[in-house]
Amino acid sequence: MVKIAIDGPAGAGKSTVAQLVAKRLCVLYVDTGAMYRAVTLTALKQGCSVEDEHGLRELLDKMNLTLETKKGIQRVYVDGEDVTEAIRSPEVTRCVSTVAAHPLVREKLVEMQRKMASTQDVVMDGRDIGTAVLPDAELKIFLTASIEERARRRFQELEQKGITVDYSQLLHDIAERDRKDSERRTAPLKKAKDAVLVDTTGLTIEQVVDRIVELHREKVGERA
Ligand code: CDP
Ligand code: CDP
Show the domains of the chain with their CATH numbers. 3-210 (3.40.50.300)
Residue 13 annotated as part of some ligand binding site: yes
Cα–Cα distance for residue pair 222/28, rounded to 1 Å = 23
Rg (CA), the chain: 17
**Segment 184-220, tens digit of pLDDT:** 999 999 999 999 999 999 999 999 999 999 999 999 8
Q: Which pLDDT value is given to residue 167? A: 96
> Is 11 one of the annotated binding-site residues?
yes
pLDDT of residue 1: 86
| Ligand of minimum distance to the alpha carbon of 30 | 1
Q: Of all protein residues, whose CA lies closest to atom 3 belonging to ligand 1? A: 10
With 90 as the cut, is the pLDDT of residue 77 above it?
yes
ipTM score for this prediction: 0.97
152 alpha carbon to ligand 2 midpoint, in Å? 10
Ligand 1 within 6 A of 181 CB?
yes
Rounded average pLDDT over 115-124: 96
Q: Ligand 1 within 6 A of 10 CB?
A: yes
Q: With a 6 A CB cut-off, is 16 part of the ligand 2 pocket?
A: yes
Asked whether 93 lines ligand 2 (CB < 6 A), one says: no
pLDDT average, residue stretch 133-146: 97
Q: How confident is the model at residue 22 (pLDDT cuts 50, 70, 90)?
A: very high
At residue 224, does pLDDT exceed 80? Answer: no
Which residues, 6+ apart, have CB-to-CB distance to 178 below 8 Å?
9, 10, 147, 189
CA of residue 110 relative to chain centroid, distance: 12
Q: Of all protein residues, whose CA lies closest to atom 4 belonging to ligand 1?
A: 10
* Closest listed residue to residue 187, CA positions, set 124, 126, 120: 126
Does this model's pTM top 0.90?
yes
Measured distance CA(155)–CA(144) in Å, rounded: 17
CB 78 within 8 A of CB 38: yes
Atom 16 in ligand 1: residue holding the nearest Cα: 97
Q: Which atom of ligand 1 is nearest to the CA of 129?
A: 23
